[in-house]
């Protein structure tokens, strides 16, 4: 094929083949770098949609399955749709990247707003996942065409080069999202930053590699479009905190006094004096109420004091990063040491430093008897804890995700047995026997399957209704007695008569035929999702 040079620009005699690209090695490197950026951005969008759904809706397994399956299907359709665009691959790729940067960058904000104002998350999520998947799918055939324009090579070799870089980019995006992007920028701002990177990938192709292959006015139009996208993303980034707070406030009845999104959860604290005249401080994790300061003492007295009716020199609290269960434990002068194991360091930091919460827990985390361990409780137990505990208080959130369900499994309670003495007493918050009876009795059966004897009881906490607990002892053949210590501090709600009455379940809340929960068969997750959805 003959080639001529006109005014310093390479052309070919055959119009179907675009002009050759100068500096082939450098151009090839830049294009593969663009592939790397596109792959990293695409995976971050996928992970962001999955994480947001888990925060707002729960059921991380379902959210992950829906997002991945929808996006992968849409990617295939996008690849097919891009086939006619290969003849104008440079402009088409730049356009795709600009639109993807805008849609992907704004995806979290749009879905958060749809959830807050329209109570319409899942349909909106599917639409966004389809749009992002179509655009990601369109990238590959266009990039493959551009790669071949730089240097012709055998198809299998080109595919190998392309996908090697693509998979490396996916690795960087997949690790960068939880380890750097989310902690540094947060979920909303993080996706905006990724949108900017996506737009930059388009600029690399248009300005630095193939600028001679498109007309000047087309190039200028594409660059103007990318500039507009960057302006939108930049403006949204500046306003992101205000936009997020406005949307978040829409979901809560009372004014928000603190909010943050951590790698593990969304933490929100509200404050109101609307009903009682006294401050009502409420803590929400991923939108679920954890306590109201008006009546939290009912819950925490029931959770802690029956567990401390025996020996209590050395106490373990798992969960309970707000410090309220810890406050009750520290009311006993003969407690010598307390280990608090809480996954999220942001939660224990808030309990220690945020004045409303610090006042509510009586500065419990500053007590010299307390050791705080920020770790996953399951892995912490697997790490070979040598300490033995007289009493254990387990205050995990309800098992509505796979990560939480493992903390309600037979395997978890087997691990827990390694840090107990034969006389230890273990208290587990177990959900509501009224709203979720199968979940409650599955937790009790799981504990029994792990080799414990149990006693069950329930209390009423007005802010979130009927709630149940399971008191357990390792290896005993008789149920551990429900009682308070003779020298228990004076309590506002619980006494021996209340505790005895709490052990009587009405007919509609009595034991049901349920499965124990294991790592491979998380029955509690199935039950809690089914029951709360039906309720």
Residues taking part in catalysis:
395
CB 61 within 8 A of CB 402: yes
* Token reading at 456: 């069950």
Is there a contact between 23 and 82 (Cβ–Cβ < 8 Å)?
A: no
If one counts every other C-beta atom within 10 angstroms of the C-beta of residue 444, the result is 24
Kind of pairing, strands 389-395 and 370-373?
Answer: unpaired
Beta strands in 185-279, from DSSP E residues, in sequence order: 256-261, 266-272
The tokens of 314 are what? 């050395």
Cβ contact 36:165 at 8 Å: yes
* Category of 325 on φ-ψ map: left (φ > 0), alpha (ψ -120 to 50) or beta: alpha
Ranges assigned E (strand) in 299-419: 314-319, 337-341, 370-373, 389-395
For tokens 């998979």, the residue is 167
Rounded to whole angstroms, the Cα distance separating 125 from 103 reads 12
Question: Which residues, in sequence order, are CB contacts of 144 under 8 Å at separation 6+?
Answer: 158, 159, 162
CA dihedral 470, 473, 475, 478 (to 10 degrees): -80
Cβ contact 31:209 at 8 Å: yes
Coil vs helix vs strand at 95: helix
- Token readout for 133 is 């998947």
Nearest CA to 391 among 329, 316, 336?
Answer: 316
In this structure, the number of other CB atoms found within 10 A of the CB of residue 359 comes to: 12
Question: What SS3 class is residue 344?
Answer: coil
Name which of 247, 236, 223 is nearest 193 in CA terms: 236
**Helices 437-449 and 410-417, axial angle in degrees (round to 10):** 40
DSSP states along 143-204: HHHHHHHHS---HHHHHHHHHHHHHHHHHHHHHHIIIIIHHHHHHHHHHHHHHHHHHHHHHI
């Amino acid at each position: 094929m003959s080639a001529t040079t006109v005014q310093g620009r390479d052309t070919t005699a055959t119009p179907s083949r675009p002009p050759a690209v100068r500096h082939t090695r450098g151009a090839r490197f830049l294009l593969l770098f663009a592939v790397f950026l596109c792959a990293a951005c695409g995976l971050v969008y996928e992970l962001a949609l999955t994480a947001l759904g888990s925060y707002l809706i729960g059921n991380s397994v379902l959210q992950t399955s829906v997002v991945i399956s929808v996006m992968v299907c849409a990617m295939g359709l996008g690849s097919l749709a891009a086939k006619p665009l290969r003849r104008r691959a440079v402009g088409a790729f730049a356009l795709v990247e600009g639109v993807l940067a805008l849609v992907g960058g704004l995806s979290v904000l749009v879905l958060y707003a749809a959830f807050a104002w329209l109570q319409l998350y899942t349909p909106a999520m599917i639409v966004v996942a389809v749009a992002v998947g179509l655009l990601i799918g369109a990238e590959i055939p266009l990039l493959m065409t551009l790669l071949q324009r730089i240097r012709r090579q055998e198809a299998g070799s080109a595919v190998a080069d392309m996908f090697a870089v693509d998979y490396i980019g996916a690795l960087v995006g997949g690790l960068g999202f939880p380890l750097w992007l989310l902690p540094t920028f947060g979920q909303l701002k993080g996706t905006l930053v990724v949108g900017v990177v996506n737009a930059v990938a388009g600029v690399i192709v248009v300005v630095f590699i193939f600028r001679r292959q498109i007309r000047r006015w087309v190039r200028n139009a594409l660059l103007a479009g990318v500039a507009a996208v960057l302006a939108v993303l930049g403006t949204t980034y500046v306003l992101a905190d205000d936009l997020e707070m406005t949307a978040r406030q829409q979901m809560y009845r009372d004014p928000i006094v603190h909010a943050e999104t951590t790698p593990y959860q969304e933490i929100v604290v509200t404050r109101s004096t609307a009903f009682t005249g006294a401050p009502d401080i409420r803590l929400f994790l991923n939108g679920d109420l954890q306590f109201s300061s008006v009546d939290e003492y009912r819950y925490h007295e029931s959770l802690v004091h029956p567990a401390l009716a025996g020996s209590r020199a050395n106490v373990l609290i798992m969960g309970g990063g707000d410090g309220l269960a810890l406050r009750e434990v520290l009311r006993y002068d003969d407690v010598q040491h307390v280990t608090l194991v809480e996954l999220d360091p942001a939660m224990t930091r808030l309990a220690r430093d945020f004045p409303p919460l610090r006042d509510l827990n009586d500065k419990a985390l500053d007590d010299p008897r307390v050791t705080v361990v920020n770790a996953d409780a399951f892995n912490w137990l697997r790490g070979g804890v040598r300490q033995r505990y007289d009493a254990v208080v387990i205050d995990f959130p309800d098992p509505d995700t796979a990560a939480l369900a493992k903390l309600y499994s037979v395997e978890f309670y087997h691990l827990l047995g390694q840090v107990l003495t034969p006389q230890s007493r273990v208290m587990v918050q177990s959900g509501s026997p009224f709203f979720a009876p199968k979940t409650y009795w599955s937790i009790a059966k799981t504990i029994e399957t792990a080799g414990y004897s149990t006693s069950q009881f329930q209390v009423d906490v007005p802010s979130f209704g009927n709630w149940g607990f399971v008191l357990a002892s390792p290896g005993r053949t008789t149920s551990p007695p429900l009682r308070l210590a003779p020298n228990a501090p004076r309590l506002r709600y619980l006494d021996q008569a209340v505790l005895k009455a709490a052990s009587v379940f009405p007919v509609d809340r009595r034991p049901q035929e349920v499965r124990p929960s294991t790592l491979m068969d998380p029955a509690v997750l199935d039950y809690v999702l089914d029951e709360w959805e039906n309720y």
